[in-house]
Copies of this chain bind each other. A is one copy, B any other.
Amino acid sequence: MELYPAQRLSRFTQDVFLAIGCSEKNAALAAEVLISADLRGVDSHGIARLPGYVRLYDNGRLNPNPDIKVVHETPSTGVIDGDKGLGLVVAPYAMEIAMEKAEKAGSGWISVRNSNHFGIAGYHAMMALQKDMIGWTMTHAAPLVTPTFSLEKMLGTNPLAVAVPAMEEPPFVADFASTAVAYGKFEILQRKGLPAPLGWAQDAEGNPTTDSNAVRNGGGLLPLGTDREHGSHKGYGLGAIVDIFSGVLSGANYGPWVPPFATAGFMSAQEGVGIGTGHFLGAMRIDGFRPADDFKTHMDNWIRRFRSAQSVPGEKVLIPGDPEREAEAVRLREGIPVIGAVTDQLRELAARFSIQF
């Protein structure tokens, strides 16, 4: 594991996207979104995925110069076709349209099809903050999750992010998967040869397991809530909502048909039930409800009251977004840790495209 300045990882990411044919503007935006994950401590969604995007390109599933288009719209809703572009570029485009609609109609809600992995949901939701809007982002993903009582993997980790501005306090930014844990946690345990806590996954027969390889061996990730007795049907319900808003509403694939991120495999409309991967993004103008300053002052009060709640000794009550903001402060100062296995892959990309890592 070595530490790298964000600037350097961002520059390299941009160079790789330029090398596969992205425009300057799109390569810069995609690099910013991708590295924002590393900065915020979400290592699984950052530069570690860069080789995956290149594999998408190699497999003909990524269009480096997409013609992203609004294919249907009303004053506050619409569908965008991402033209197989980088999700890292398609999603910010969709969010801009959502915010334009919110400017005029109070809110804007865009369902996206024909996209692929869009990085961390929180980045796109946070775009709304600077405009005194609430940002809302969801995306489905390839099936890893077994709904309550299912042996089949039917849903992705399907995250939701909501960003809410405050006045003097930093914003409220919830950004979480609809599963007990993200799949990245298993990959870390696999690398170390460690078991997983009970309640994260089930085995191929649907039994609780501590096998950190269970999801690869016929098992599945468990929805938030873990089992029926503790509300797994609620996590399943939340993941299903994300899937329907991202996939069925846009005309993308959905459920078990959502294409895998970076491997080859089906990708065309003919083979699936829709076009590519989908997302759902929205923005609501605060002053579509009440004056923005009133709202933000009350958000300060909300945040301060929750932050000062009496806590379990040795712990504190956090506000959604706190851990990511703290990680960002540290990593901007000290650099971003990248493990050797990832660095090796980045060096391969550097060699292939004759660019400097």
Contact = CB atoms under 8 A, between A and B. Distances in A.
Interface of A: 72-79, 104-107, 109, 111, 134, 147-152, 154, 160, 162, 164, 172, 174, 176-181, 197, 199-200, 205-206, 224-226, 229-231, 233-238, 240-241, 243-244, 248-251, 254-256, 273-274, 284-286, 288-290, 294-295, 298-299, 301-302, 305-306, 309-312, 315-318, 320
A31 to B, nearest CB: 28
A138 B192 CA distance: 42
B107 A109 contact: yes
Given A289-B79, A295-B249, A320-B233, A306 B180 contact: no
Number of copies of this protein chain within its complex:
2
B233 A226 contact: no
A107 to B, nearest CB: 5
Contacts of A310: 150-152
B285 A74 contact: yes
B230 A199 contact: yes
Given A107-B107, A230-B200, A240 B320 contact: yes
Contacts of A311: 149-151
A298 B248 contact: yes
B78 A318 contact: no
Contacts of A240: 172, 174, 306, 320
A150 B111 CA distance: 36
A294 B233 CA distance: 27
Contacts of A78: 106, 288-289
A75 B199 contact: no
Contacts of A77: 106-107, 284-285, 288-289
A224 B231 contact: yes
Given A224-B224, A225-B235, 7 more contacts: A75-B104, A77-B285, A78-B106, A150-B312, A151-B312, A152-B309, A154-B306
